[in-house]
Structure 1
């Protein structure tokens, strides 16, 4: 696990980003899509993550006639009343765009398989993603991604010196579309059950960053896509601002509900802290604590 443990605060403001937990019902239950970042990536190299990335300047300027919801509605579903509507729209578009760029999936497009290569060709020449969809007569389907949580990187680094303010979304996998990971950014894309992903992490077969660990722990308590989407619709997105500290020579990251966190209310039923030991982040109570 790449880790940048030090006691110095990173004073730069976090960069806005979006990530999507794409889910589907597999033969044995719920599955989620993970991509493995290239080892030479500047952020989380070699780590399995959900598709996502930074907000682009063009994301918040999509043609209003092509978007299925207004920027104000996008802000309202994020439950962030002080957020600029254009930023809210941009975060939704970024979620759609990054999933397409990293996995080749056009979320919310029932006939998307017929348009993937054409959209790729347009974006390869510099056409913004939203404009490429409009050119193909496709709506910008912001309603197909559901806000799940918001993670803000702490000022004191525990994994990377870069800071992000990332909105996590969930979305059902589109029917009839095959995953094709971006060779420039990832080395594989894999469907795993949330439990299976955590078990592979615990066995040392894959690396996961703390937000992925805790998000998979949440998903492991749900059985299918319908339950995931019902959960997303039934609650506001959780705001998660991890608070790291050092204890007995180990870096600890605590989350809301932990005795050392400034917020006493829990945001999930699983463990409230991860400890960096054995070259990875582990919860007190081991794998069983993550799986509930």
Structure 2
């Protein structure tokens, strides 16, 4: 199914959210985990996305003794002036929780055959995700998710009718755990080389939203999970505030560094805009431009 372009203005503030690009080393190089959202989903139905979702109130309220580091340290990693430490912690916990809920992966946890099932049982009975880990003697591993970028949906979103302030994290796939998609929210979980994900989008086999297209483009230049994690540690997360406009009836989304964007300085190498053509978002120069 093709993406539907939105032209309505959203007047509510963006919802704090977290998403995780889980990476691993596959037989031919770097792979990243994508889940295909149910077609009847209210946000990006049928589209392949990274696991993620909204910040919940419970994500901020974690027993300090269960943490592997302080909320202050979480805030330092996000590098957002004015962001309070409890919200910074909550975004990290949301990243961990959503990855578990959507893919069954417990990031940062040593593999135990019973652990995933026990966390499922406790959370299904109403125990909070972080509390469930604490009860089972596992730390809430905020250090296992590293800030990568921050995407703030504009007032006129292009592919949803909602606004999000989403912190993108990267995480190494935990050894010994298998990704299994949540049947309520998704229809598949698939490991793809970033290049292959973009190629499948261009072939019309999968749909990708603009943040996924640009993120896969950036990942396609890295060779291993270790290189992804090292890159995340080497720099603060980029702030990306897309600025869309319609040109001859066609939606264009420009990013920092583009001549039409209000910020002249680039935050990445490669294309600075996507245009909706052929029922997908394309970079100037096509697939080759995204793959560098």
Q: TM-score category by the smaller chain? A: over 0.9
Q: Which residue of 2 aligns with 1:201?
A: 201
Number of residue equivalences: 291
The whole-number CA distance in structure 1 between the counterparts of 2:101 and 2:185 is 9
Extract structure 1 runs of 4+ deviating beyond 4 A: none
Q: Which residue of 2 aligns with 1:92?
A: 92
Determine whether 1:142 maps to 2:131. Answer: no
Q: Which residue of 1 aligns with 2:5?
A: 4
- Does the 8 Å CA contact 2:200/2:206 hold for their aligned counterparts? yes
The whole-number CA distance in structure 2 between the counterparts of 1:154 and 1:90 is 23
Q: Which SS does the other structure have where 1:76 is aligned? A: helix
The whole-number CA distance in structure 1 between the counterparts of 2:168 and 2:243 is 19
- Give the C-alpha shift of residue 197 in structure 1: 0.3
Any gaps of 5 or more consecutive residues in structure 2?
none
- What RMSD, in angstroms, separates the aligned Cα atoms of the two structures? 0.9
The whole-number CA distance in structure 2 between the counterparts of 1:47 and 1:53 is 14
- Does the 8 Å CA contact 1:4/1:161 hold for their aligned counterparts? no
Q: Which SS does the other structure have where 1:65 is aligned? A: helix
State the TM-score, normalizing by the size of structure 1.
0.98
The whole-number CA distance in structure 1 between the counterparts of 2:9 and 2:102 is 31
Q: Which residue of 2 aligns with 1:216?
A: 216
* Cα displacement string for residues 256-286 of structure 1 (whole angstroms, at most 9, x for unaligned residues): 0100001111111121000011111111100
Alignment of 1:145-224 (within 5 A): 145-224=145-224
The whole-number CA distance in structure 1 between the counterparts of 2:256 and 2:34 is 25
Any gaps of 5 or more consecutive residues in structure 1?
none
Alignment of 1:4-153 (within 5 A): 4-6=5-7, 8-153=8-153
Determine whether 1:229 maps to 2:229. Answer: yes
Q: Which SS does the other structure have where 1:5 is aligned? A: coil
- Does the 8 Å CA contact 1:2/1:160 hold for their aligned counterparts? no
